[in-house]
Amino acid sequence: MNTGSIPATKTVTFMMKENLRAEAGIEPPPVVTGPVTKETQIIAIYGKGGIGKSFTLANLSYMMAQQGKKVLLIGCDPKSDTTSLLFGGRACPTIIETSSKKKLAGEAVAIGDVCFKRDGVYAMELGGPEVGRGCGGRGIIHGFELLEKLGFHEWGFDYVLLDFLGDVVCGGFGLPIARDMCQKVIVVASNDLQSLYVANNVCSAVEYFRKLGGNVGVAGMVINRDDGTGEAAAFAKQVGIPVLSTIPANDDIRRKSASYEIIGRPESDWGPMFAELANNVGASQPMRPNPMTQDQLLGLFASDVVGRNVVLEPATEFDMCGKTQLRKETLEVVYDEV
């Protein structure tokens, strides 16, 4: 037995770590600085996971189609649930999964393999890797590379809506902002600190890339599950973006959404609300936001809600070790400078 050899498992682990380091070190391409020339409005919608982006976008895209617009909805969330409401709960084959299967079979991906439609709304899911088997952000980049091969820049839509997670900060999820792939960003939030924290991060990212020469701006906020406390509206006013719609915290909306029912129909009780949102989204202009500091963000809420009165107390060595180490003077000789 050769005791000096390295076990195979250690070699594989080492190679995996090196591959992850190499992947993490890939810098995104430089920001595009040219003017926006597309007639299609490409809009990236960001928000905290679970805040209601998919609900908002499914109903918004449906209403836009009923208004005679040609709309493409692209889910850019690894959970692949953006289109579930639109398709009555059915799972939509993802671009990444379909691409992998087609590649193994030696076949090319066709548009009909990944894009599906309902009542005038076209929709697709980028998808993502299984848990622990890849980087979601790199999956987004791969998905858009495939979309470009399928002719993304030649498609004739009035609106392309991109559903992105806002609480993931890796490069792939910032793709539309960093590469000027969209003209404007819309944030979805509610009257809670975490969703506004995410919205503020998105505003900070937009402002960062504007300083680098980018063209993307924030067109406004959709307040979802509004309970009337007003923190989200105060945030929008503070950062300088308009509120495009306020969707109430309503039990009828909750039940219909849970049963995969589209409420963004002209004949629905909620139709006028989504019709107004559709008009506001189309007319909204990209603006440079004024992001808030963490303390300013906390200031939107009562101190008893967010614990703003907590004082940071430094830990001691006794706290960490259960005893205080005896500090000995160094034996190093230090000579005075002449």
Is 103 a known active-site residue? no
- Give 271's contacts (C-beta < 8 A, 6+ positions apart): 63, 263, 264, 265
**Nearest-angstrom CA–CA distance, 159 and 43:** 7
Please list, residue by residue across 109-124, b when 16 or more beta carbons sit within 10 angstroms of its beta carbon and e when fewer do.
beeebbbbebeebbbb
Tracing tokens 């895209």 back to the chain, one arrives at: 61
User: Token pair for residue 188?
Assistant: 């979805």
Tracing tokens 């000995």 back to the chain, one arrives at: 328
Nearest CA-CA partner of 59 in 185, 181, 161, 180: 161
Is 167 a known active-site residue? yes
Tracing tokens 């409420």 back to the chain, one arrives at: 263
C-alpha count within 13 angstroms, C-beta hemisphere, residue 69: 22
How many CB atoms are closer than 10 A to CB 282?
15
How many CB atoms are closer than 10 A to CB 335?
5
Is 102 a known active-site residue? no
Is 53 a known active-site residue? yes
Q: Is 121 helix (H, G, I), strand (E, B) or coil?
A: strand
| Helix, strand, coil percent content, the chain, rounded in steps of 5 | 40, 15, 45
Say which of 69, 70, 79, 117 is annotated catalytic. Answer: 79
Say which of 81, 113, 158, 167 is annotated catalytic. Answer: 167
User: Token pair for residue 322?
Assistant: 């259960």
The answer to whether the beta carbons of residues 223 and 246 sit under 8 Å apart is: yes
Q: What angle do CA 43, 45, 48 make, to 5 degrees?
A: 170
Nearest CA-CA partner of 122 in 188, 64, 47, 195: 64
Question: If you write DSSP's letter for every residue of 139-192 in order, what string do you get?
Answer: HHHHHHHHHHHTTGGG---SEEEEEEESS--SGGGGHHHHTT-SSEEEEEE-SS
Q: What residues are labeled active site?
A: 48, 53, 79, 167
